[in-house]
Amino acid sequence: MRIGNIGIISLLFVLIVSTLLYFLPVNENPIISPSSRWCYHYRETLIHDGKPIYEKSEVLRYFSVNITRGVLIVRMERTFEWKIFHENRTEVITSNASEETLFLVDVSSRMYFDGSYTSWWIPTNIFIGSSIPIWTINFNVKGFSWIMFNGKILECWVLEYRSAVEEYILLYERVTGIFIKYEIREIASSSQQLLRERWLTDSDIEWPILAFIRPFLLLPIIASLLVLVSLLIKKIRGHLMVKKKSLNQDYLLI
C-alpha cells in the first residue's frame, strides 16, 4: 500500500497534534470553584500478625463555601464507622452524626495557614521527575496510571514517597490535577502495619472533555509513529538497493 505525500503530511499532523494534547498541560488553574462539592471514602485498617485488629471507615463530604482574596473556604462533614475484630466476634461502632470542620486554603500556593499543602489538587504543569509538596511531604512524580471512575477511564499522575517505615502512592487526574486515590502503608513493627486508603467517590466538578479522551490519544500516536517508521525503513531499504545495484553495474564496467 503506497502512501503519498499528502498521506505522510496527514500522519505527521496527527502525530504532532496528538502528542501535544497528550503531553502538554492545558488547565493551569484549579478546577475547584466556590460552589464545588466532592466526597471521599476513607478506610484505615490495623493489621497484626496478618490479622485485622480494627477497621475504620469514613465518608468525607466537602463543600466549597466561598473564595475571598485568593483564599478558598471549604467545609467538611464527616461520618464514620469502626469495626473492632475480636477472636470470635466483630464489634461495630457507628456514628451517624456529622462532624464539621472548616479549611482555609490559599488557591495560588495550595497552602493551609499552618504551612502544609492540601491534597485536594496538584498543579498540572508538571512532568515525570517533578517534586510536588502535599501535606508536609515532597512527593516525586513517577509516571502514569489509568483508573476507572464512574464508568470512564481517567489517566492519572502517579506520585510516590517511600521511607524505611512508610510507603505512599497517590493518583491525580492529569488534565485537572484533581485527587483520585491514595494508598498508604505504615510499618509499625515486623508484625504490625497500618493500611490507609482514600478515594474520590462523587463530585459535581465538570470534567473537561480532554480528561476522558486523553487516555486514548496514545493510540493515534503509536499508530502514526509506526506507519511513519515503517515508511522510513522502506525508503532506506529502497535507497540501499538502488545504491547496491549501481555499484554492481560499475563493477561490471571495469
Whether the pLDDT of residue 246 is over 70: the answer is no
**What is the per-residue pLDDT for 89?**
77
Give residue-wise pLDDT tens across range 133-149: 999 999 999 999 999 98
Whether the pLDDT of residue 94 is over 90: the answer is no
Whether the pLDDT of residue 253 is over 60: the answer is no
Q: Which residue has the higher pLDDT, 14 or 147?
A: 147
Give residue-wise pLDDT tens across range 218-242: 777 777 778 777 777 887 877 777 6
Whether the pLDDT of residue 92 is over 60: the answer is yes
Mean pLDDT of 199-215: 86
End-to-end CA distance of the chain: 39
Q: Which residue has the higher pLDDT, 3 or 252?
A: 3
Residue 131: which pLDDT band, with cuts at 50, 70 and 90? very high
pLDDT above 70: percentage of residues in the chain: 87
Residue 26: which pLDDT band, with cuts at 50, 70 and 90? low
Q: Which residue has the higher pLDDT, 115 or 151?
A: 115
Q: Which string of b and e fits 22-33 if b means at least 16 CB within 10 Å?
A: beeeebeebbbe
CA distance 232 to 226: 10
CA distance 46 to 251: 81
**What is the per-residue pLDDT for 250?**
53
Mean pLDDT of 45-74: 92
Whether the pLDDT of residue 204 is over 80: the answer is yes
Max Cα separation, the chain? 100
pTM recorded for the entire structure: 0.82
Whether the pLDDT of residue 254 is over 60: the answer is no
**What is the per-residue pLDDT for 236?**
80
Cell of 11: 500522519
What values do phi and psi take at 77, rounded to 5? Answer: -115, 135
Whether the pLDDT of residue 174 is over 80: the answer is yes
Mean pLDDT of 165-193: 94
Is the separation of the CB atoms in 119 and 150 below 8 Å? no
The domain locations on the chain are: 1-26+210-254, 31-207
